[in-house]
C-alpha cells in the first residue's frame, strides 16, 4: 500500500466565531469534505472506526478473506491485514489502531495455542502490513484499543470472563510504544456489579469504545452507562455515570459510536449525535446548525475533524466535518 500519509486539504470558510446564547460557536458555514471509501466487493464488514485519518474495518473471519481493512481518508490507499501469530492454532483479532506519524498499526488479538491454552497479544505492523513485533499481554484481554499522541497504547478490556463482577482486576491498561505495561487502572468493581465493561456490543445498551485525543483518552462502558476520561496533564482518571440519552421515541437509546475532539468535546451517536455535559452527567443533543444534513452516526475523530455518515444509502459514504469547539463556560466545556 506504500506509505499511508493523510492530510486534510480544504478551504475553511468560517462564519463569525462569536458565541450564541447557548454558548456554542456560530458556524453556519461548515467546512465539510464528502468522502466515498469503498472496500473490495463481497467483503462483509462491521461498522468501521475512525482514528488518525484512517477508517478501520473488522471482518468476520474466513479462511481466505482479510481480518482487517484500513483506508486513509486522505487518499486511495488500502491495506488488508490477515492477522496471524506464529506457532498457534488460531488467532482472533479484537481491535486495531493507527500509530502516530504514519508509523504503522497496532492490533490486539487473542490466540488458541498449540498446548490448548489461550494468550493475548499486541501485534505491531508496518505501514505496508508487515508484522514487526509482538508482545504477549496475558492475562489481560482487549475489547478495544487506541493509541495516544505519545505512542502509548491504551486498551479497555478484562482479565477473565470467569471473575466475579466485584473483582479488583484492572480493566484499563496503558502500554508503552513497545507493548510493556505502564499503568493498570480502573478495577472491575468500579462498575458496581455490571457485566464486563468492555466485551464487544451489549444489546440494548451499545458498544464499548475507547478513543484518544490531544491530552486525553476517553472510554465508554455501555452496560454500566459510564464515560471514563484520563487527563494526561493531571494524570487523573474521571468517571462520569451518564444514563443513556432519551431519544426521539421517548425511550433510552443505545450509544453506537464515540468521538473525542482535540478541543476536548466528547460526542456520541445513537438516534442522533449527542455531546457529553460533564457537569450535569447527561447527553445533550447537538444543535442541528453544528451538523450537516441528516448526520446521526459517528465513527470517530481525528484532531478536530469528526467523521459522520454520508447523506445517502451508501454504507461507504462519509462526511468529514471540521468541528468548532464549544465556548468556555458551556456546561459540557472540558475546563482545561
Divide the 336 residues of the chain into consecutive groups of 10 and give the mean pLDDT of each group: 34 31 42 91 88 95 92 89 95 97 96 96 97 96 96 93 80 97 93 72 80 97 94 95 92 94 96 96 92 94 95 94 65 47
End-to-end CA distance of the chain: 39
Q: Which pTM value belongs to this model?
A: 0.87
In the chain, where the domains are located: 46-255
Using CA atoms in the order 286, 288, 294, 295, what is the torsion angle rounded to 10 degrees?
Answer: -40
Per-residue pLDDT at 41: 76
User: Quick one: fold of 46-255?
Assistant: Neuraminidase (2.120.10)
Helices vs strands, H then E, count in the chain: 0, 26
Per-residue pLDDT at 43: 82
Q: In which residue are the cell numbers 487527563 written?
A: 231
**Beta strands of 37-160 (E only): which ranges?**
49-51, 54-58, 68-72, 78-81, 90-98, 105-112, 118-125, 131-136, 141-147, 153-158
Per-residue pLDDT at 326: 57
Cβ pair 125, 177 in contact under 8 A: no
Q: What are φ and ψ of residue 76, in 5° steps?
A: -100, 10
Is the Cα torsion angle 51, 149, 168, 122 positive or negative in sign? Answer: positive
Q: What is residue 310's DSSP assignment?
A: -
The C-alpha cell that represents 135 in the structure block:
508482545
How many degrees, rounded to 5, is the angle at CA 167 between CA 237 and CA 258?
Answer: 40
For 22-65, the three-class secondary structure string (H helix, E strand, C coil) is CCCECCCCCCEEEEECCCCCCCCCCCCEEECCEEEEECCCCCCC
How many degrees, rounded to 5, is the angle at CA 3 between CA 217 and CA 39?
Answer: 80
Per-residue pLDDT at 24: 43
Q: What are φ and ψ of residue 234, in 5° steps?
A: -105, -10
Amino acid at each position: 500500500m506504500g506509505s499511508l500519509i493523510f492530510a486534510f486539504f480544504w478551504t475553511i470558510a468560517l462564519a463569525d466565531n462569536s458565541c450564541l446564547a447557548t454558548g456554542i460557536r456560530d458556524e453556519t458555514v461548515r467546512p465539510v469534505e464528502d468522502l466515498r471509501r469503498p472496500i473490495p466487493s463481497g467483503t462483509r464488514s462491521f461498522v468501521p472506526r475512525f482514528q488518525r485519518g484512517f477508517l478501520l474495518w473488522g471482518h468476520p473471519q474466513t479462511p481466505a478473506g482479510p481480518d482487517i481493512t484500513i483506508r486513509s481518508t486522505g487518499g486511495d490507499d488500502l491495506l488488508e491485514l490477515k492477522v496471524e501469530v506464529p506457532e498457534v492454532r488460531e488467532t482472533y483479532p479484537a481491535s486495531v489502531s493507527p500509530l502516530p506519524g504514519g508509523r504503522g498499526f497496532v492490533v490486539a488479538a487473542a490466540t488458541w495455542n498449540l498446548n490448548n491454552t489461550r494468550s493475548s497479544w499486541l501485534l505491531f505492523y508496518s505501514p505496508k502490513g508487515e508484522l514487526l513485533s509482538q508482545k504477549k499481554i496475558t492475562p489481560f484481554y482487549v475489547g478495544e484499543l487506541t493509541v495516544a499522541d505519545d505512542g502509548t497504547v491504551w486498551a479497555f478490556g478484562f482479565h477473565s470472563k470467569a471473575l466475579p463482577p466485584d473483582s479488583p482486576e484492572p480493566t484499563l491498561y496503558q502500554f508503552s510504544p513497545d507493548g510493556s505495561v505502564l499503568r493498570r487502572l480502573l478495577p472491575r468493581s468500579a462498575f458496581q456489579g455490571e457485566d464486563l465493561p468492555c466485551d464487544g456490543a451489549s444489546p440494548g445498551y451499545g458498544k464499548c469504545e475507547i478513543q484518544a485525543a490531544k491530552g486525553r483518552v476517553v472510554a465508554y462502558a455501555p452496560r454500566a452507562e459510564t464515560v471514563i476520561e484520563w487527563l494526561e496533564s493531571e494524570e487523573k482518571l474521571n468517571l462520569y455515570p451518564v444514563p443513556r440519552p432519551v431519544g426521539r421515541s421517548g425511550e433510552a437509546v443505545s450509544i453506537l459510536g464515540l468521538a473525542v475532539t482535540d478541543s476536548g468535546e466528547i460526542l456520541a451517536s445513537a438516534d442522533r449525535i449527542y455531546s457529553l455535559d460533564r457537569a450535569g452527567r447527561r447527553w445533550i443533543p447537538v444543535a442541528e446548525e453544528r451538523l450537516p444534513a441528516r448526520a446521526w452516526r459517528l465513527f470517530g475523530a481525528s484532531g478536530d475533524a469528526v467523521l459522520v455518515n454520508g447523506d445517502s444509502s451508501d454504507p461507504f459514504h462519509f462526511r468529514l466535518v471540521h468541528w468548532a469547539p464549544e465556548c468556555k463556560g458551556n456546561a459540557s466545556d472540558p475546563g482545561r
